[in-house]
Amino acid sequence: MSLALPPLSLYVHLPWCVRKCPYCDFNSHEGRGPLPFDGYVDALIRDLDFDLPLVWGRTVHSVFFGGGTPSLFPPETINRFLQEASARLRFAPGCEITLETNPGTAEHGRFELYREAGVNRLSFGIQSFDDGCLQRLGRIHDSNEAEAAVRLARDAGFDNFNLDLMYALPEQTLAMAERDLERAIALQPTHISHYQLTLEPNTLFAVKPPPGIPDDDASWDIQERCQALLAEAGYAQYEVSAYARPGRQCVHNLNYWHYGDYLGIGAGAHGKITLPASADAPPAQVAGARIDRDGTVLRRWKQKHPARYQADAGTAAAIGGGEAVAPAQRPFEFMLNALRLVDGFRLGEFIARTGLDVEAIRPRLDDAIARGWLERDGTTLRPTPRGRQFTNDLVSLFLEDAPATPSGSSVPMPDAPGEVIR
Ligand SMILES: C[S@@+](CC[C@H](N)C(=O)[O-])C[C@H]1O[C@@H](n2cnc3c(N)ncnc32)[C@H](O)[C@@H]1O
Ligand code: SF4
């Protein structure tokens, strides 16, 4: 079996925020004083130039500006970056280009200019429409500002936008969570991400959890009720936390979940690139070391600290680290992503993305089916509702050293190994 090239995406990390939220463990930094937007964009372009040899000749299917708070960057800087990037990489027609937006940074006139720069999708960090919740979360905006920002974007012609909401918030009741969703749906987004608040290590909330966080049962009730509300309003769940109107699933995130490839540029950005066996391609550089192209999945990440990243971008010193993903690790990595999807994955996709035979995971698939966590439909495997309830347990069956307990059921082989996916 050999690795096939999956679709390629581009992730661009913009690391500054107005204020650090107490629950957030993203590589985001409170911006103090004037921020070096132009210098940072120069660094992104040097970084991209350094990574280009990994993806020569490939087409980019989506671009995602994530943060931090990308909407802090003036539209001219986003425009310049996109112009430089599209001069170096082929963008697919209709390439999805998303910019994450904090409603507290929305200014009149900016949205038009982001659109003119080529951004065609926005993702708003709303979190809640309850002003008390927003305050407890340390957000810089209130609910009216959030609604106004979304309306401004719509008036500027953005017809494709996501709203991020969190639930199981401090002192949140089921009725409050329902109201949040109702106000979100009233704004007619094409996509809603509905995340359960998690207390991430190394955050203020982990050190000093806020009082009134709903317990597991209450969180479960909120999740179930909100899923039903979303379905009634025409938002189909396609991933653990993602809901979309028909045809409006996030192309960029879907590529992650299908174990696709992505270049990661910017401070702390992670990338994953498939290097199929090729005699003529030059070796790849990983953290200064050479990796021959004998067919591998390469992961690498950039230095996290914005100032150091900016100084070193475009040289090997900006690479924070990297690794070739050993074949034995690939089933777990693949499942960690694909089993988040309501529609699961096809066996041909597993083969193409990991370069492995289905035999490598057959006992574990059988085990998951026997436990009632996975179901098969021809060559498609998808998590059952029970499997979706225990995603972590399901995925951990595919850990390199997890015991596989073969059972009686068996999984059919795809008709055409290595079939083209998507
Ligand atoms: C990078 S932020 C989005 C844009 C912008 N920085 C903002 O917050 O407005 C990505 C999203 O992840 C979610 N998120 C962040 N930390 C989380 C946590 N600890 N638990 C659950 N969701 C979280 C939030 O919904 C947030 O909008
Ligand atoms: S604005 Fe977004 S990225 Fe920044 S600290 Fe808050 S949640 Fe994190």
**Residue 416: pLDDT band with limits 50, 70, 90:** very low
Identify the nearest ligand to the CA of 21 by its number: 2
Using most ligand atoms within 8 A of CB, pick from 17, 65, 98, 100 the residue to mutate for ligand 1.
Answer: 100
β-pairing verdict for 380-383 and 345-346? antiparallel
Domain 329-396 has CATH 1.10.10.10: yes
Tell the burial category of 354 from Cβ atoms under 10 Å away from its Cβ (0-12, 13-18, 19+): buried
Q: What is the pLDDT of residues 52-96, one digit of tens each?
A: 999 999 999 999 999 999 999 999 999 999 999 999 999 999 999
Pocket lining: 390 vs ligand 2, CB cutoff 6 Å? no
Residue 404 has pLDDT above 90, yes or no: no
Pocket lining: 127 vs ligand 1, CB cutoff 6 Å? yes
Rounded to whole angstroms, the Cα distance separating 293 from 283 reads 6
Pocket lining: 125 vs ligand 2, CB cutoff 6 Å? yes
Identify the nearest ligand to the CA of 70 by its number: 1
Pocket lining: 263 vs ligand 2, CB cutoff 6 Å? no
Identify the nearest ligand to the CA of 122 by its number: 1
Domain ranges of the chain: 8-253, 329-396
Identify the pLDDT of residue 292. 58
Dihedral sign computed on CA atoms, order 304, 62, 193, 368: negative
Residue 359's SS3 state is helix
- Cβ-contact 147, 185 below 8 angstroms: no
Q: What is the pLDDT of residues 174-208, one digit of tens each?
A: 999 999 999 999 999 999 999 999 999 999 999 99
Pocket lining: 68 vs ligand 2, CB cutoff 6 Å? yes
Cis peptide bond prior to 212, omega within 30° of 0: no
- Cβ-contact 361, 347 below 8 angstroms: no
Q: What is the pLDDT of residues 342-375, one digit of tens each?
A: 999 999 999 999 999 999 999 999 999 999 999 9
With residue 345 as reference, give the H or E element that holds it: strand 345-346
Ligand 1 mean position, distance from CA 36 (Å): 23
Q: What is the pLDDT of residues 276-335, one digit of tens each?
A: 777 566 666 655 556 555 679 999 999 999 999 999 999 999 999 999 999 999 999 999
Report angle CA 166, 176, 137 to the nearest 5 degrees. 45
Residue 411 has pLDDT above 80, yes or no: no
DSSP for residue 341: B
Rounded to whole angstroms, the Cα distance separating 270 from 21 reads 22
Identify the pLDDT of residue 293. 57
Ligand 1 mean position, distance from CA 21 (Å): 9
Average pLDDT over residues 240-253: 98
Average pLDDT, the chain: 92
**Residue 4: pLDDT band with limits 50, 70, 90:** confident
Identify the pLDDT of residue 19. 96
Q: Ligand 1: which atom is nearest the Cα of residue 23?
A: 19
Identify the pLDDT of residue 277. 79
Using most ligand atoms within 8 A of CB, pick from 23, 24, 141 the residue to mutate for ligand 2.
Answer: 24
Identify the pLDDT of residue 286. 55
Average pLDDT over residues 260-288: 82
Tokens of 235: 């938002």
Inter-residue long-range contacts of 218-221, CB under 8 Å, 24+ positions, other chains counted: 218/168, 218/174, 219/167, 219/168, 221/174
- Length of the chain equals 422
Ligand 2 mean position, distance from CA 412 (Å): 45
Q: Which of 327, 303, 411 is nearest to 364 (CA)?
A: 411
**299: how many CB neighbours lie within 10 A of its CB?**
17
* Lowest mean pLDDT, pick from 97-111, 132-146, 330-344: 97-111
Domain 8-253 has CATH 3.20.20.70: yes
Identify the nearest ligand to the CA of 31 by its number: 2
Tell the burial category of 84 from Cβ atoms under 10 Å away from its Cβ (0-12, 13-18, 19+): middle
The percentage of residues in the chain with a pLDDT greater than 70, rounded to a whole number, is 91
Most confidently modeled of 1-5, 243-247, 272-276, 400-404? 243-247
